[in-house]
Amino acid sequence: MPTSIDIKEFIKLSEQHPVIDVRTPAEFEQGHIPGAYNIPIFSNEERKIIGTIYKQEGKQPAILKGLELVGPKLHEFIRAANNITNNGILLTHCWRGGMRSASMGWLFESYGFKSITLKGGYKKYRNRVLESFAEPKNIIVVGGRTGSGKTLILHELQNQGEQIVDLEKIAHHKGSSYGSFGEEKQVSQEQFENEVSHAFSKIDTGKICWVEDESRKIGINVLHDDLWAQMRAAKVFCIDLALEERVAYLAEEYGKFTKEELITATQRIGKKLGGQHVKRAVEAIEEGDLKTACEITLVYYDRSYEYGLSQRPTENIIKFKFNKLDPQHIAKAIKLQAHTSTG
């Protein structure tokens, strides 16, 4: 029989052994343990059929229908598991830790695998994810107006041995009207939370963790209340970079995209930017003058950023003025300040 363990031990073992999620593809897409493999016992349609039978006829007829549907697929489950495991140990879960994971665990054990199931299933994992956001994170925020190269600086901090969590990378969005450019499709809110929690679980809370200053909403994804509160209460190392440096960086960064994409994204902020400003920015894009277009749109983005900064405690804002966007130099300077002030 499969061994059943609690969520803490399950997560620990998941660092060494593959996790098999036996829920439907739709359930898996909605949210799953990062890194898990989906070997669904039932397809989306099959689960609907069984659910209807259960409601209309009862448990036993539903089980019989389930066996009828699953029987021809048993060999496929074993083949899929064989392609995933390298040592014969599999961590298996369903939604509540009930019949689906128990059945798949029994099959794996019958074949010769070592199967370990999760007590309480994915529901228990989700509870753990939501609880994790309230745990202290020891955050320092890399701030600065749009075009300050915050993401470049964040990754340079990582190159210099610092801990980071890149929320925009997890969200597949850079957080502005232009933020979806060059990114994959965004995941569900549930999966975003799972991924963010997973990233922070790898962090040593005894050391600084750097994150980029974000709005609460990153594309369609929203930062959890408890994490957002910690980010707003954290120290902000604000990069003050000259306008011409920021414009040059943005023009190069977004110059790889089509005029149509840039115009559509600019028009999305039309109400906030103002009709005349939008008209001028669109004309500049059509003429290939991205620097002028950036200067116009930065009026809105700078105003928005300054307002957000004004909502933070003044004593938590530490400004660093730089003449050039040199991520290596900037990262070194703010890293030194962080460890000097906390050491």
Q: What is the structure's pLDDT at 275? A: 84
Radius of gyration of the chain (CA): 25
Mean pLDDT across the stretch 197-225? 96
Q: What is the structure's pLDDT at 271? A: 85
Question: Which of 304-316 are b and which e, b meaning 16 or more Cβ less than 10 Å from the residue's Cβ?
Answer: bbeebbeebeeeb
Mean pLDDT across the stretch 120-130? 98
Q: Please state the domain extents for the chain.
A: 3-130, 136-342
Range in 76-90, 167-181, 232-246, 329-343 the model is least confident about: 329-343
The span from the CA of 92 to the CA of 101, in Å, is 6
Q: Which helix (H) or strand (E) covers residue 164, if one does?
A: strand 163-164
Predicted confidence band of residue 273 (pLDDT cuts 50, 70, 90): confident
**Where does residue 144 fall: left (phi above 0), alpha (psi -120 to 50 degrees), or beta otherwise?**
left
- The residue type of 87 is N
Please determine whether the domains at 3-130 and 136-342 fall in the same fold group of CATH: no
Predicted confidence band of residue 342 (pLDDT cuts 50, 70, 90): low
CATH code of 136-342, in short, is: 3.40.50
The mean pLDDT of the chain is 95
Active site residue 94: yes
CATH 3.40.640.10 fits 3-130, yes or no: no
pLDDT at 158 over 70: yes
